[in-house]
Structure formats: C-alpha cells, structure tokens
Structure 1
Amino acid sequence: MIPTREITWNVDLLGRIALYALLALPIGFLAFGLARRLRMWRLGRPDDRFDRLAARLWGAVVASIFHARIVRRQNLYGGIAHALIFWGFVVLFIGTVIVMIEHDITVPLFGFSFYRGNFYLGFKLAMNLAGLLLIAGVLMALVRRLVLRPVTLESSADDLVVLTFLLVLSVQGFVLQALRLAVERDPWAAWSFVSYPMSLVLQGLPERLLRSLHLVNWWSHMLTTTVFLAYVAFSKMIHPFTGLASVVFRRLQPAGKLEPIENLEEAERLGIAGLEDFTWAQLLHVDACMHCGRCLEYCPTFHTGKPLRPRDLILEIAGYVADRGGIFSGELGQGMNTARFRWGSGAERELIGGVVSTEEIWDCTTCGACMEQCPVYIEHVPLIAGLRRHLVLERGEFPNELTTVFNNLERLASPYQFRPAQRADWTKKLEQPVPEMAELAASGEEVEYLFWVGCLGSFDGRNQRTTIALARIMQAAGIRFAILGREETCTGDPARRAGNEYLAQLLGQQAVETLNAYQVKKIVTACPHCFNAIKNEFPQLGGHYEVVHHSQLISALLAQGRLRLDPDSAIARGKVTYHDPCYLGRYNRVFDEPRAAISALPGVELAEMRRNRSRSFCCGGGGGRMFMEESRGRRINQARVAEAQATGAEVLAAACPFCMTMFEDGIRGAGVEGNLRVLDIAELVAGSLVTPQEDGTTTAEGTYEPSG
C-alpha cells in the first residue's frame, strides 16, 4: 500500500465549490487593500529605489527568511517567537499550495500524482512540525504581550486578534487531521506525529460522529481562514507585504548620508510639512511599521524619558498619511501615543504641531540607533531632518540656542565666536611646527595627509589636547601632514542635522572648493562628524577624498610598528572602557580599530560597556543637540557616564570631540570627577609614546597633560 490520502476526504461537491468561492472573497479584499496602499505610496515624490536590484533582493531574503534584524541578542525571546511563527506559517502556506497543485492541476490535467509515497510521508512530517512551531511561536508571543510586557512593546487589540486567528487555525488543522486518522487509521499515521496521538484518543467514538465532527470542523476551518484572510488587508497582518516591500526598497546609500535638497534656490517647498513632501519610499516605510518597538531598544531619548519615541513618531506620521491617503490606518480608534485614526478621522490635521510635536522633532540626536534596529529599514533620521528643514527654512522656527550657532556659522564658518585666523593657534603648543597647505602649495611641496582639525579641535581648549596629541603621534611616526589653518571651515554637519540645509550646502561647497584647489587626496580627522560629512556628503558637492579617522590611522601605525610605546607608561593603567561614537560606529562601521589601539597600550584592560558597537548608547551631542539645552527628562550624557562607571573603569576612552564635550559635562553633572575621567584615544597613545631626546636617549610621555 502506497502512503497517500484523499485530499477532499469527507467533503461533498458543495463543500468543494464553497472552498474556492470562499477563497476568492478574501483574496479580492487583500488585492483591494494592497492596491489602495500602492495608490497612497504613489502620492509621494519620485525617489530612485530601483537600482542594484540584486542587492535589494538578497537583502530582502536575508532580512525575511533568515530574520537577520529580528533574532537579536537584546530581544532574543521575541525574535525566536517571531521566527517560529514566520517559518511555521510559511511552510504551512507552501504545503497548502502543494496540495492545491496536486488536486487542481497535476491530477485532473495530466493524470499524474506526486502526493504519495516517500514525498507524502515527508510532507506530513513537515506539516506537523510547521504547525507545532506556529503554535509554539504564538504562545510565546502571547506570553510576551500579556505576561512579560517589555517596556518597548505596546500591544493593541489588533495584535491579540491576529495571534488568536493563527492559534485557532493551527489547532483546527491538527483536529481535522486527527478526526480523519481516527476513521481511516492509516498504517503510516504516526508520521503525523502531532495529530496521531490525538486520533488514538478519538478512535473510541462512532465513525458517524467522527465524520460529522470532521465536516463541522472543516467548515469552521474554511470560514476562519476566509475571515482571517479578509482581515489581513486591514490589520497589522499586512506587514508581510508592506514589510517585505520596505526591505526591498530600503536605502542603499551610506547610513550617515543625508540627501541634499536639490536646486535649493529654486525649490518651491523646503522640507516636509505635508503628504506631498514625502517621497514614495518614505510613505511606504511609515506604512510598513509593525509597532514592534525595536527602534526604542537603544534610543537615548526613549530611555531618558523624553517626548520623542521613534516608534510613536512613525505611527503618528503613518496615521496622518493613512488619513490623507484615504485608507484604514491599522488601529481601531485613536491612541494617545500613536495618534492613528480610522477611516480618515482627523485628516485635516497639520503635520507639524497637529500630528508631530516640535519637542519630538528637536529632541532627536540623529544617532541612528532606531534605523540600526528596525527590521524593515524605516528611515527615521531623514524624516526628522526633513521636518527640521521645514521648520528652519520655511517657518524660521528653531530653538533659541541655534540662533547664535547659525549666525556664527554664517559669519565665521564655525559654530563658535572665534576668528578664522585663530584656527591654527593650537600649533604653538607643539615643539615641532605644523605646516599649512598654503605654505606648501607655494613651495610646490606635497603631503601624505591633510589633517582636518575641525571646529572643536581648533577652538575648544579641552579638545585641543586631542588635536595636539594626534599631531605628535603623526610627527613621531614620520608622517608628512599639513593643515588648512584659517582656510578650514565647518563641514556644515551641525547646520544640516539642525535643518539649515541652505547654510550646510554653503559651508560644504566652500570646504570642497578649498580642498580641490589644493588637490587633496587623503584626509585624516579626529572628528567622526567631519569624517562622515567628508566621506559621505562631500561627494554630493564634487569632493572625493580618501578619509580616515584618527583611530584607524593610529591603529595602523601601531600594527606597523611605527610607534614605540613605553611599557611603564602611567597615563592609563587597568580598566579602560570605550564609547563608540554614533557617527563613527553605527554610521560608518568603524568598531575594531579604536579597540585595537586601546588594547595595544601597556597595562590596559579594555572593559566593554553593556551597550557597545552597533548597539552603543549615544552621548547626546549629535543632531545639533550639543548646542541646545537638554531640559526634558534625564540627561543622556549622565546616563552613559553611569554605564561607563558600571564597568569599573577609571578612564572612559573617547574618539569624538562631541562625545568628549558631552562626557566632560556629564561627569561634572554626576559629580564623579574623582572616579572617572575622559581621554581621547590619541591622548592615551601619545601619553605612552617613547620619543627621542636631543642627547640620543629616549623618554616616555606618560605624564603628558598639555594645557588647554
């Protein structure tokens, strides 16, 4: 006897006809719902997201099939639950399609059956395993939502309805199979390892009753499936479609790159203020939000009690877009945080002020932690930058503290009130002179690196120590370098992240013209914000350079043996913890080189903070926030300082002048000056260098503490 079964066992002709009639209805609903969403997305401005299709499709495979952004250390339980639901549902769906192909195509059209023998046995094993995984995943998800209730998770009736549907459908499937096995008593029934034990319990019932129960359960299963599929188009369960589309059409540009406003002088609308200002990809992304809360896991504003919660911001915008686009927004009623409305209620609300508050817009540090964690690649930071651009360029509304910053940038090409002629004053504290590009160009000399010092490194007394340390390191390694001096300007990063795109483009263009005039090829900088702007945004303006961060250069010099370290250096001993700057780590994936440089120091033990590398916690200084007062919630820099203290380290190693400034302030604010100090990687290495003396001997700079 060959293992197989009758596909429509115990179902009469009427039931078979009803099966396809019932399926047609929800499929129509689903197609209608997807078509309306597609129409809404097309209301957005053009955006080329059809390049590099192979990379897009492969990324979608990795993100969906392998759950690359869902099964993660921070949320392992939730990730595993989702993976079980996903794989269980997908395998069961594929199994259903296989059965339909057998029943409706191969047998009636070709007289050929593949649904038998070893294939059938393997099929039953796979279906039972998939159903079991689905039930396990649903139960885990229910426990997570109803019992564990993580702080980043927000549950709604929609979530519970979807999970209940999946649980009921799975149980119905097993009961159907058990009732048939109780009647048929197939010799191979044990391959259905979940349904078979259930069938043994049912075998004592009369066959007529078993057949009646089977028929009732079959009809209830079909009706449940019909209602569920119809519900998909108007619920959170639409996310397999919108989420996959969001991943396929994700942004493939560098994470730290903000797109400029093209033809700024001629643009009729600046920034984002309404539905027509979003790109179609942005409309797709906000519609794809699954409410999972992953964006909150490392968000500095969420964890310090500020109004900005990236998930709620996206849901607020999604509700607004759904209202204006005329589709069901996915939530049954108005929520206090999500602001999502049903069937167009509130469609006339103003986006900024009526939907998204200005506090949310200005609290963002642009650290990118939300985008790093989002499973469907929603682009929170560019959205917030667009909202800021409208406030600054169209309305002239921004925090008072930025007025001085913008004025200084416009007049002095720096956020500070220092004259350009003072940019090179720090070089007077060095024993060896540092040439300027203008001098070398006049004499026809070339350099290996242009040292882009940055505004903080040039003018801020504390960060000048880092600048001096890096210069000494390069001099000790025999690197020929020069600076721009008075010709250096701000890259425009603070202006761009604060919404002043006009000023950002002006400063960036000025910097690129200067660099190109000297035919600069290689640049080193100690500022990740400058590093990111020069590497990722200057190409928009015609500036193409090889850019390295000072931690990368120092690590390479140590590995090449071009720097000698004193084993008895006392500048740092014992535990040192390292903070990953957002614009160096998350945005530009520089994680290992700073750690390699620290680990090379004699007598130093690198102690990692709980949140590190791509999961690092922001210092609070990005997005122009360093120049603004932090009046809401707990101070972000103090939260990070507390985390550094928890490692037991006495030194917090920095690799960014913004982080340096924020941590110095955070340590003072927390009153822990005697327990923790901040030193840049360049200071740590320069303070441990063995340098030659005039008499031919060597000495260590272990007590190196340049005055600020």
Structure 2
Amino acid sequence: MAFEEILRQTRSLLCLDCGKCTGTCPVTRVDPTYSPRATIERVLAGRPEELINNDHLWACLTCRLCTTRCPSGVDYPAFVVAARVQARGTGVEGTYAHNAVMQELMGLMTLPVKQNRTGWVSGQMRTAAQGEDFYFVGCLPYFDVIFADLGVVSTEVARNTVRLLNRLGITPVVSDDERCCGSDLLLNGDEVGFRRLAELNVRTIAESGAKRVIFSCPECYNAFRNDYPRVIGPLPFEVVHLTELLAEHVGELGLGGLEETVTYHDPCRLGRYQGIYEEPRALIQAIPGLELVEMRKNRAQGLCCGTTGWVNCGQCAKGIQITRLRQAQATGATRMITACPKCRIHFTCALNDVGEEIPIEVEDLTGLLARSMEE
C-alpha cells in the first residue's frame, strides 16, 4: 500500500495540525521529542523515508488515546501500523524487547509445529476436543516461561477462565494446535506472518466444530474481531470476550464476599478498541463487600500500560507504567484489577523495579472472580 493510500484510508489528509494528538499522547509526556502530529507531517510533506528510518515510527503504543481527542477522526494507530508494514518491506524493524523471543516464537508458530499448549489443564476442569465453544488461550503458556522471573503465572488466567466457564455449564474446547493470534506480528509490520497465523487459527477452530470463540485476552479478541475479517474475510464463528459473557450470567457465578478496595485498569484493546468498559466493572461490583474506586483517568481516558508489540520496552515505557501505578495508588486501593494478561505482566515488572515504593498488587479479573467463587 502506497503512502498516499495510507493517508487517505486513515483520514490523515484531514489533519488540522491542532496538536491535540501530541498533547494527549502518553509517550510524548515522557519523551517530548516524540509527536504524532510531526510523524504524520513528514509523510504529508512528501518525506516518508524520514519516517521509515526514524525510531519514532516504533514509539507509538497504538493505544488510541489520541483518537478520542482528534476533531478530524484521524486513525493515527492505523497510520502507524500501515507505515510499519512499509518500513518492514524495506528491511527496517523496531527494537524488540526480550531479545526478540516473542517475535521468534510467533515466526515458529507459522510453521508446522507440535505444541504442548494444554499442559495447564487439571483434572478438576471440564474441557473438550470438540464442541460449540472454543476457548482461545493465546500465548499464556509461553508467558509462564518467559516471565517466570516476575512471579507471574499467566496460565492461572486460563485455569480460572475454564473454572468460570464450567460454573456457567460451558465445557470449552482447548487445543494444542492453537497458534498465537498474531496481533504483535501485525503491530511490528509483519502482515504476511499475521495472515498465516490467522489462517491456521481459523482452520483449527473450524475443525473443532466451534460456533463461538471465547477470549480472555483483549489483544486476541481484537485481532479476531477487527483484523482477521479485514485480512482473511468473514469468520465462520461468533467471537466474544469473557467479560461480556460473564456479565450476562453474573447471577449464575455464585460470587462470595471479599472485603477489599480495588481499582480497575482499562486495557486499550478492550476499552478504546472494543468499547467494553462497563462489563468488567459490573463483574467487580457484583462481589459482595468489594469496593471499586475509579482512577482519575478511566474508561476512554485511561492511560495505557506503556508498551505493546514487545518493542521499545525501555525508560519511556517504565515512566508511563509508574505514572499509571501512582494513579492507582492515589485511589487508596490495595489492588489494581485488569482484564489483560500483558498489562498484568508490564505493571508487575514496573512494580518489581520500584520495590515497596508503590504498595499495590496487580491482579487479573479472572483471579479476583475465582477467589470470590471460593468464598
């Protein structure tokens, strides 16, 4: 796709040069040299090569906070992702975090590989190989290995999700043949790899006989709901995020009381991308004795977790994470609940850096609900 078409499709030609995007951008607040407006202006001025060869192309979090303020409706994150596809075509890539292990894993998953993705399933859980409901686990089993030093057991989200679904009478399909959703490949400009993962995942799910796919990861959900149909066409099944499903049947969960004060962090892909703000809050507020206090910046104005696509996880990302954690601390809550496994990893990493300076715990929503069911 030529840059002229990228400008047209993302409405960047309608930019008023007002600077609201730059004034809103969480990256700019930590790194004043970065400007979404200036990024677009390079291309509008006929100098796309300056953008392709600039590290700022990879600085954007694609959090969509700028889109909530833009009076012209410019889709800046879409502009950035399309520009990264162009950059990758010339051999330019971002600076990958964690020695690019996630990028290597995603590349391997485009190949005919055998995986042990379901080793986290215990005998107390009801799962199936065929059925109408497919639980898309995502990369949680790999996160357990890569981020073991953080003490975060991401497969607990998977176990708790199955327990919650079982409580509703749902026996989900889980599969060793599932691949990464590919969202991070797309964010890194690898459209070819993303398409391949999308095709493999859709085939695996279709072969299971599933009519509905349930997601606990917002990025996987967004990839299937927004990106898969655009890249490979209409999907032969329904997609739903776990919080949507649970909120519809919250009375069937049998939630017990918890005497705690918590705050809730809106993941970008669940909130600004999918508009799912109230369902997680409804689930939290359904727990007897639990008090939910909002951060000053919440819902569509909530701050991002500071990094995405496993790129540029440096001081800028840490600055954004610490700012968000301080906003959570200011509420007086003892726990910050989120509904994204990546947000949990990133915030836990930041907390490990600051020690006891910010006395708050980060917990996935599925963990909170599972604890409540045990009461």
Is the TM-score greater than 0.5? Answer: yes
Name 1:387's counterpart in structure 2. 83
Name 1:299's counterpart in structure 2. 25
Name 2:5's counterpart in structure 1. 279
Decide whether aligned partners of structure 1 residues 308 and 420 sit closer, same or farther in structure 2, where only a CA change above 3 A counts: farther
Q: What is the aligned counterpart of 1:591 among 277, 291, 310?
A: 277
Q: What is the aligned counterpart of 2:221 among 527, 531, 534?
A: 531
Q: What is the aligned counterpart of 1:478 among 133, 149, 169?
A: 169
AA at the equivalent of 2:71: P
Q: What is the aligned counterpart of 1:515 among 177, 196, 205?
A: 205
Alpha carbons 2:109, 2:180 under 8 Å: kept: no
1:503-556 CA-to-partner distances (Å, cap 9, x unmatched) read: 111111111122222332111111001001111222231424321111112222
Name 2:95's counterpart in structure 1. 399
- Count residues in correspondence: 364
Decide whether aligned partners of structure 1 residues 374 and 649 sit closer, same or farther in structure 2, where only a CA change above 3 A counts: same
Decide whether aligned partners of structure 1 residues 584 and 552 sit closer, same or farther in structure 2, where only a CA change above 3 A counts: same
1:431-460 CA-to-partner distances (Å, cap 9, x unmatched) read: 23422x2xx3xxxxx33x211111125642
Q: How does 1:54-133 map to 2 (within 5 A)?
A: none
Name 1:359's counterpart in structure 2. 55
Q: State the alpha-carbon separation in 2 of the partners of residues 536 and 356 from structure 1.
A: 25
Q: What is the aligned counterpart of 2:108 among 381, 396, 411?
A: 411
- Higher Cα radius of gyration: 1
AA at the equivalent of 1:481: P
Percent identity (aligned): 29
Q: What is the aligned counterpart of 2:179 among 462, 474, 489?
A: 489
- Look up the SS of the partner of 1:519 in the other structure: coil
Name 2:64's counterpart in structure 1. 368
Instruction: List alignment gaps of at least 5 residues for structure 2.
Output: 145-151
Shift in Å, 1:366? 0.9
Alpha carbons 2:306, 2:321 under 8 Å: kept: yes
Q: State the alpha-carbon separation in 2 of the partners of residues 594 and 458 from structure 1.
A: 25
Q: State the alpha-carbon separation in 1 of the partners of residues 366 and 321 from structure 2.
A: 21
- Please tell me whether residue 552 in structure 1 is matched to residue 244 in structure 2: yes
Alpha carbons 2:10, 2:76 under 8 Å: kept: no
Name 2:148's counterpart in structure 1. none
Name 1:173's counterpart in structure 2. none
Q: How does 1:240-279 map to 2 (within 5 A)?
A: 276-279=2-5
Alpha carbons 1:538, 1:544 under 8 Å: kept: no
Alpha carbons 2:161, 2:366 under 8 Å: kept: yes
Q: State the alpha-carbon separation in 1 of the partners of residues 244 and 108 from structure 2.
A: 33
- TM-score by length of structure 2 reads 0.89
AA at the equivalent of 2:41: L
AA at the equivalent of 1:406: Q
1:354-388 CA-to-partner distances (Å, cap 9, x unmatched) read: x5662211111111111222110112112211221
Alpha carbons 2:15, 2:72 under 8 Å: kept: yes
- Please tell me whether residue 427 in structure 1 is matched to residue 118 in structure 2: no
Q: State the alpha-carbon separation in 2 of the partners of residues 367 and 478 from structure 1.
A: 35
Q: How does 1:150-165 map to 2 (within 5 A)?
A: none
Alpha carbons 1:391, 1:398 under 8 Å: kept: no
Decide whether aligned partners of structure 1 residues 499 and 281 sit closer, same or farther in structure 2, where only a CA change above 3 A counts: closer
Decide whether aligned partners of structure 1 residues 450 and 317 sit closer, same or farther in structure 2, where only a CA change above 3 A counts: same
Decide whether aligned partners of structure 1 residues 393 and 408 sit closer, same or farther in structure 2, where only a CA change above 3 A counts: farther
AA at the equivalent of 1:480: T
Decide whether aligned partners of structure 1 residues 386 and 314 sit closer, same or farther in structure 2, where only a CA change above 3 A counts: same
Q: How does 1:13-32 map to 2 (within 5 A)?
A: none
Q: State the alpha-carbon separation in 1 of the partners of residues 247 and 9 from structure 2.
A: 43
Decide whether aligned partners of structure 1 residues 315 and 514 sit closer, same or farther in structure 2, where only a CA change above 3 A counts: same
Shift in Å, 1:285? 3.5
Decide whether aligned partners of structure 1 residues 654 and 400 sit closer, same or farther in structure 2, where only a CA change above 3 A counts: closer
Alpha carbons 1:575, 1:649 under 8 Å: kept: yes
1:153-206 CA-to-partner distances (Å, cap 9, x unmatched) read: xxxxxxxxxxxxxxxxxxxxxxxxxxxxxxxxxxxxxxxxxxxxxxxxxxxxxx
Q: What is the aligned counterpart of 1:679 among 350, 363, 371?
A: 363
Shift in Å, 1:284? 8.8
Q: State the alpha-carbon separation in 2 of the partners of residues 420 and 290 from structure 1.
A: 51
1:383-404 CA-to-partner distances (Å, cap 9, x unmatched) read: 2112211222322433254744
- Look up the SS of the partner of 2:121 in the other structure: helix
- TM-score by length of structure 1 reads 0.49
Q: State the alpha-carbon separation in 1 of the partners of residues 284 and 104 from structure 2.
A: 39
Per residue, is there more helix in 1 or in 2? 1
**What's the C-alpha RMSD, in Å, of the aligned pairs?**
2.5
Name 1:125's counterpart in structure 2. none
Instruction: List alignment gaps of at least 5 residues for structure 1.
Output: 1-270, 322-349, 441-445, 690-700, 703-708
Name 2:15's counterpart in structure 1. 289
